[in-house]
Structure 1
Amino acid sequence: MYILKEFQEKAVDKLLSHTYEALGQPARQVPILLEAPTGSGKTVMMASFLERLTDELPLQPGLHDNVAFIWFAPNTLHIQSFQSLQQLYADTSKLNCIDLSNLSASPVLHPKDLLFVNWSSVDSLKKIWRRENETSTNLETLLEKTRANGTKIILVIDEAHLSAFTGAQAVQVRRLIKAEIEILVTATPATRPQRSVFISRQEVVNEQMIKKGVRLNIGLDPEQQNGENVHVHLLRTAMAKKEELKELYEAELGPNKLNPLLLIQLPSDNASLSAEDKSIRDTLVGLLDMEYGISTSNGRLAVWLSGEKDKDGLEEPNGFQDVLIFKQAIAQGWNCPRAAVLVSYRTVQSPDFGVQTVGRILRMPHQRHYQHDDLNYGYVYTNIESSRINLVPADADFFLPQYAERVKQENMLFDTLASATIINDRPSKGVLSSAFETVFFNLMAQRFGVRQLPDLDLFTPQAAEQIEQQTLLNREAFRQNLWEFDIDEHQIIIPTDIELDPYEVNAIVLETNQVQRFAITVAEFKTMFDRFCYDNITRLNRSKSWKKLRETLLHFAEYYLGLFETDARKFYLYPQNKALLVPLIAQALERFEAWQAARGNEHRRVETKAWEVPELRYYSEVYVHADAVHHALEPFFEYINASDPERQFKDFLAQHANNIDWWYKNGDQGKEHFAVPYTNLQGELALFYVDFIVKFKSGKIGLFDTKTRRSDQEAPNKHNALVAYMEQENATNPARQLIGGVLIREELGGVITFRYCSNRIEDTNDLTGWNFLNPAELA
C-alpha cells in the first residue's frame, strides 16, 4: 500500500485529465510528459496513475475502457520498475504485471495487463522478439492479437530523455506499436509536449524527500595539497567529509544505522575505460587501500564499470561498502539513498548526464530532513573549473552552461526575421591540414598586430637582440589585450566552500573569493592541454584534427612569443588566457573550414530561415553576468571583451527605456544567430551579424552594428547589404518597418550620441546626412 504526497496527488490528477482529453481525440501516439526530479517518486506516481486510470476509464463517457499497458525502460531499469509495481499492486491486484518471459506462444495482452520491456529486447529486427518464428512469439504478433481483441495500448516510456525519440530503432518500435498515448517519464526532458505535468525540485524538498541542495568542494584547501596532484587531494578531502557525515548520522540515528557512501566518477564519456580512466583509477585504488584500508578484497570498495559490477548490498542503509567507483551506468535508475558524497573527475558535457548523476546523492535515506542541517545536503568534490560550473534552477542539480531565457510577458511580442546562412553543396573533408597553421597565424597577427620572430641562422648577439626585442613587442601586444604571462603552477581555479541554491539563477555567479588556485603537475598540464585541444575541435573531425590544433598552438607560442612546450601549455591553460583563446580558435576553424570548402566548391549560396529571439541561449565562460534594462533574455550576459561602443550603446538604450519594448545582443557566429549576407572585399560571400536588434515602442525594429570611424574596412559593404536587406523586407511586409545600419558613436558638447545612415555609404568617416538615433522620435 502507498500514500501519495500532496504534490504527487496533484501530478496524478493532471496526468489523468490530460489522458482523458487525449483519448477523446482520434490522433494516436499523443505524448504526455511527467517531468519530475530524481527522488520525487516517479514510480509511485505512475503506479497510482495506472491504477486510477483503469478504475476510472469505465466512468468516462465516450471513452474506450479496454486498455493494456506497455512499460519501456533502458538497460535493466524495466526489471526494477517491474518489481516495484508488482509489490505496490500486491494487495489490490488492480493491474497484472508481466514481462516477456511470462508470455506464451502466440502472445496477447489482455485488459489491465502491464508488460515491462527493455528497449534492447526489441530494438533490432535480429532480436528474438522482433523475428518471425514458428510459435509467432514476437512483438508484431502480440500487437496484432491484442488489437484483434479490441484492446487499446498505452505506452509508458521511462527515462524518456535517452533514445526513445532519437534512436532509429526506438522510433520504429514506437511507430509499430502506435499506442493511443505515450506517457513520457523523465527528470530531464529533451522537449516538452503540449500536455505536460511539471514537478519542481522545491516541491520535493518541501516534502523532505530529497536534500536541500549541493555543497561544492567544502573544505578543499590548496594549502593542504602538499605537492600531490588534484585527484588525490580531492579524494582525501571527500573521505574526510564522508567520515564527518558518518559521525553526524551516528549522533542522530544511533551507531551502525547508516553508512554514507562515497561515489567516484571517472572522467571519460565512453563506456570502456580510457587510458586516463585507468591511470586515475589505479592512483585512487592504491590510495584507498594503503591509507584507508578500503579495497575490493575486503568488500569495502565496490566497482560499477564495464565488465565489473560488484555492487551487491550497496543499497542497504548500513551497507558494508564505503566507496563506489563508476562511470555512466549509475546515472540511470539507481536508487541508493545512503549515497552522500560524489567525487567527479568528469568533464561534464551532457546536461542529462550531469543532472542524473548528482541526483544519486540527493535522496533522503529516511524520507525526512535531519536535525543536523549538514545531513540535508549532498556533497560534491570536483576538479572542473569554476567557469564551467553553473546551475539550472528548474532541474537543479549541477554543471550546466550558464544560460538566459526569453522574457515572458503577455505584451512582449518577438517578431520573426529572415536570417541567412551559407550553404556549400559539396561537403569539405572536415580534417585540419597543415594549412590551418597559416590561417591561425594570420588571424592572430591581424588581431594583435604581432610579427613572427626572426628566423636567423647565425646565433649572434645582434640576432639574439632582434629576437628578444620582437618577443617583448609581441608579448606586450598580448598584455594590452589582457593576456597574462606571469604564471606559476597554481593554474586550476576551483570553486571552494560553496553552498548552491538550485532555485536561484544567481547561484551560477561565482565571486573571486569563492575560488582558489590549485597546483598542477607537468604531466597533468600535458593531459589537460591535450583535452583542451580535443574539446575545441567543434567544427571538424575531432579525432583526426585535434593533434594538428595542438601542434599549431605550440608552434605559435614558440614562433611568436618565445614560449616552449611546458611554458606554452601553462600560458594557454591559464584561465584568463584560455577564455580569450577559445573564441580565436573557433574563428580560425571557421576560416579554415570556409577555405577548405571553397577549394572544391565554387557554388556557395545563401539560404534563409525564419529567426526570432531565442527562447533559451547558452553562454560560454567568456561571458559574464551584467546589468541591463529591457534585454530580451534574462539574465543578461556580456562578452568580457565587449567594445566600448557596445557598452555605451547598452547604456544609451537604458536611458531611453521608456521608448523601447526590448533589445537583444546578437551573437557573432553560428546558425542560431541573426545574419545578413554580404560580399566582402575579397569578393567572397560572407555573413554579417549585426550587434543589436531593438524593438521600439512604435513597432519599428532597429538593426544596428556599433562601430567607430574607420574601425572596420568591411563596414560599408556590411552596411549597404543591410540596407538592401531592410528595403526588401519592408517591401515584403509593409506592416513592419526595419531601420538601422552601421552605428557610429559621437560625443557632442559632452553628450554621447549615435548616428546611422538610411542610405548606402562609401565609408564610415564622413557622417554628413547621417541620422541621429532618437528613440522618442521614432513613434
Structure 2
Amino acid sequence: MKQEKPYQEEAIDDLLYQARGCLDRDRQNTIVFQSPTGSGKTYMMTRFIGALARETEKPVCFLWVSIGAGNLYEHSFRSVKKEIDPAVQCSLLEDEFFGSRDSIREKELVFLNWEKIRNKRDGKFTNVLMKEKDEYNFPEVLENTRTKGIRIILIIDECHRSAGTPRALELRDEIIRPFLTIEMSATPGFLKEGAGVTIQVPPQKVIDAGMIKKEVIINKDLEQIIDDEIHSERLVLESAYRKREEIRQEFERIHARVNPLMLIQLPNADAGEEKKKSVLRFLREKGVPDDRIAIWLSEEKINSEEELLNKNTSSVDFLLFKQAIDTGWDCPRAHVLVKFRETSSVTFEIQTVGRILRMPEARSYDNELLDAAYVYTNIQSIIIKKEEYQPNILKNLTSRRISGYRDISLPSYYRNRVDFGDITGHFGLFYEKAFCLFFDIEQADRAAGKMPDCEACREKMAAKGIEFDTKRLDSIIHDLTIHAQDIDRGQRIDMADTLHITYSDSDLQQAYEAVLARNFHGFAPKRSMGNVKQAVIKTFRLYLGISPAGGGIEMMQRIVVANQAVFSRIISDAVLEFRRFKEEEIKRKTEGRWNEEWQIPLSRNYNPEMVRELPASLSVMQPLYLPLNGKKEPDMLEVDFIRYLETKKESVLWFWKNGDEHMESNFGIRREDGRTFQPDFIVRFRDGRTGIFDTKDVSHNKEDHVQKSDALYKYIAEGRYEGKDLVGGIVVRDQSGQFWYYMQPQYKGFDEEPQMWKRMEDLFTH
C-alpha cells in the first residue's frame, strides 16, 4: 500500500470526521472535496471509503459515479480495487446489476457512468439498466437498498463537469436519493451552493510534497535548432524529441528507473490524420521502432494498454492522441507535451497540461530539468490563464543571455533546501503522542480501526485538571481609585478586585497564538503556526469530537487558553521531540555543493502574470523581467538600483539580476549556518572587476544583514586570495537617495556607523 503524504492523511481524517458526524446525527448532507490535479484524489477517497466501512456500525454502501463520456468509471474501478480495504467489495454496475440483484450489499462499492444511466428519450430512460422490466432495474435496486436500512453514500468524481445540470440533479435527488453526497473536483472555485461542508487540499502542500511538478515551460530552447529551412511542425517535434532525450539521460544519470513519455496531441478532424502520418514519419526517421510508439485514438489503439503505458519503466516513449485523454488518466512519467496548431491562439491553463504535471516517483528530484514539465507548440499566439493556486507554474516568456557575454567562472554554492526553519506537517504525530502521554489516553490506531472514546478522553482530561467551562476567560481591573499623592510612589497594584469577562474574538485569537508561539523553541513563528494549529485541531477533533465548524475552533482556543500551563507543556514536549526528528532528517537529506565553474544561464523562463519587463540596456539577460511582489509591483529598491547602474555605462559592461527562487542555476554563497544566500546583483565592470551586491532597506532585519554581510565578505576575501578581482557588499540607500555599500569583516548598520560604509560612486571612479 502507498505511503500517505501528510496532506493526504489530513484530508482523509477530515472526510472521516464529517462522514461520521452525518451518520451519528442521522442527518443527510453534502461534502465538496476539492483537491488539485495530481494530488491523489482517487487514492484519498479510496482510503476514506475503506476506513469508514471498517469502523462504522451503521449499514452503508457506496456509489462511485464518474462524470463525462468514456470509460473513466472502469479506470476508477481498477485503481480503487488495487488499494481498497478488504472489507469493501467493488462492483461494476453493468456487470452485477442486470436484473438478478435486488439491492446493493452493505459495504459494497458500485461504479457507474453518469452519462450512461441519465439519458432519456420521450421522458423515459434509454439505458436498459434504468428501464422498467420484469427483472429488477437499477432504480428498484436503489429503493430496495434504502428499504433494508442501508444508507447510500454517493461519490461524484469530477463533479464540476455536469453534476449540476437539471437531469443530473433529478437523477441524484429523485432516484439515487443518497444519505451523503461527496462531490470531488480539482477545479478551483467549485463550491456547490448550499453544500454542508467543503474540504480543500491546499495546492502548495501538494507541490511541496513532491507530487506534482513545480513549473511548466513552453517552447524551451527552440532557438537552438531554428533555421530558415525548418518549418514550425518539424521545429516543435525536433525540440520536444531532444528534450525528452535530455530528460531520459538525466534520469539515467541519477539512477532513477523512469522512462519519460512524450505526448503528441493531434488536431481534430481531417487535419489530425495528416498530422499523424507526418509525426509517425518523423519518428521513424529518428529510428524509433513501432513498439516504442503508442496510439490512443477512438478509431485506433496501439500499445495503449494502461499496464504497458503507465509503468515508469515502460518501453513506450511516445503517445499520439487527440483532444484530452480521459480525465483521470494517470501516467506520472509523462513529461513532454507537443500540441499542434488548430487555431491561431489558445489559452493555456493547468487543465491543458494536467497530464504532464505529476511526478513519476511522487517526489521532487531537486533538479531543475526533472522538476519541470515541457510543452512545445506551433501556435502563433499563447494566452496564459492566470492560475490562482500556483500562479508561477506556466511559463512562456523567455529571457536570453546576450551574445557578448564572456565566462566569469564564479564558484556558486547550492544546498538542497530541506529545511525552512519551520515546524512541518509531520508535527501532528508528535503532538498527538505528547497529548495522549500527558492525559494517559491510549493513542488511536487508524490502520487497525481502533478509535478513541471521546467521553472517556474527556473524563481523563478532567481528572488531570482540565477546565472545559471556559465562557469567562479574561479579567480586567474595575472601580480602582488611585489617590494623587500615591501616583509617584511606584506602588504595585494587585488585581484582587477584577471583573471577569469573555474574551473578544481578536483577543482570544491573540492569546491562543501566544500560547502556541512561546513554545516553538526557535522555529520560525509564521511558517510554523499553521501546522501547530492543525495538530491541535486534529487532536481535539479525534479525541474530544469537537468539529472545527460551527464554533468549534473558538471552543478549542478557549480550552487551550484556559488551561495554558498544561497545553504549554504538551506543545513544548512535542516541539522538542519534533526537533530531534527534524535534525536527524536534515542530516540525512542535506547536501551542499559548490559549482566551481558557475556561469550565468543561457536563458530563463517566466510567467507573464508574475513579472514585469524593465528596459535595461546593460542587463546581461534580454529582455529583463523583474518579479512582482504582493502588491503586483517589482521591488522599487532593485528598480532604482538598476536605473542607477544604467547611468554608469562608461564603467559597467553588464549586470545580472539574480533569481529569487531557490534554484541551482541562480548564484549562491554559503552562509555560516550552511544555508544558501543568493545576492541580488552581479556587476561586470569594464576594467575586469566583478561586483557582487545585495540591496537591502536600511530598516530591514539587522540580523539578516549581519549573516549575509559576513558570508559575502568571506566569499570576496577568499576570491581575492585566489586572484579574482572581486568587490561588493550589502547595499543600502540613504534618505537623499545615494547608494552606499558595506565591505568590512564585522557588520555595522548604516544608522549605527555610517562612516564605515563606502559610497557606490567610488567604485565607478576606480
TM class, shorter-length: 0.3 to 0.5
**What TM-score, normalized to structure 1?**
0.47
TM-score of the pair, normalised by structure 2: 0.48
